[in-house]
Amino acid sequence: MKLGTPLGFIIGFAVIYFGIKSGVKNSAVLINWHAAIIVFGGTLAAVLVCFPLRQFLMLFKVFFYTLFSKADRETLETINEIVALARSYNEGRSLEELLGGIQNPFLKESVDLVAQEGLSDVELEEVLEKRVEIQNERYRREALTYKIIGKFPPAFGLIGTSLGMIALLQGLGQPNSFDGLGSAMSIALVATFYGLVLANLVIIPIGENLAQASEHDLTMRRIVVDGVRLIKERKHPLLVEEYLKSYMPPFERNKLKKAA
């Protein structure tokens, strides 16, 4: 699990809570169901207009997948798995025999293509590169979707504030109307507050999180493509390991198991 993501949410909401408690005399003024309905309901409505329901529901699945994925560990495990495959293949075991023990889905799919022996080296690389490109484009699209959604809450926050100001101005001229002017204006601004928090603490950071996950997924798939090519060429496991270690920062390389 990525500890930074939940930790960031906790710190962010803690900072806001501290700001409210220390800077707002009556924090209850920030609890406003009309503002919440306008911001959250309006954002949901705009999202459903922009995107199909299935794609909207898929966004939650993708986010939780990236939240609980272990990027560094997954990279190490994939490289170790490829090195182990290269060692077993060079020892005379068939790829069909090794398929059942492969954990990484894309690696298993790629090795299966090699085992079928129906593609030339050039054709195999073209197929794998195309799959890498399509999957990466999908990740980038999902990250962009969150960034698009991030535009809606501040806009609906302004709508809520505008409605609050309209209601406030309608009351001017009534007896004792100026006595409650300050509290009424603060309530009117609650919707903008909701919109800014939802966009800048939740939605946009999630989009950036998915953008980073897209880069990680691209690196992982590049590792698999290069690893499968080296296995097909029956390169020594040590060469396979050293070649794939190039994708990792120096301080991570020593965590790899040494190829025999």
Q: Give the per-residue pLDDT at 49.
A: 92
The pLDDT tens digits for 56-96 are: 787 777 777 666 666 667 788 888 899 999 999 888 888 88
Rounded CA-CA distance 107/103 in Å is 8
Confidence of residue 260 (pLDDT cuts 50, 70, 90): very low
64: tokens are 């939780």
Asked if the structure places residue 53 within a domain, the reply is yes
Domain coverage including residue 79: 32-67+74-253
Q: Is residue 259 part of a domain?
A: no
Residue 1 located in a structural domain: no
Residue 2 covered by a domain: no
- The answer as to whether 22 is a domain residue is no
For the chain, the domain total comes to 1
Work out the average pLDDT over 133-153: 87
- Whether 152 is covered by a domain: the verdict is yes
Go through the chain and tell me how many residues it has. 260
In a domain, 9, yes or no: no
Q: Is the pTM of this model over 0.85?
A: no
How far is Cα 166 from Cα 161, in angstroms, rounded to an integer? 9
Q: How far apart are CA 59 and CA 210, in angstroms?
A: 10
> Mind listing the pLDDT tens digit for each residue in 162-207?
888 887 777 666 666 555 565 667 777 888 999 999 999 988 888 8
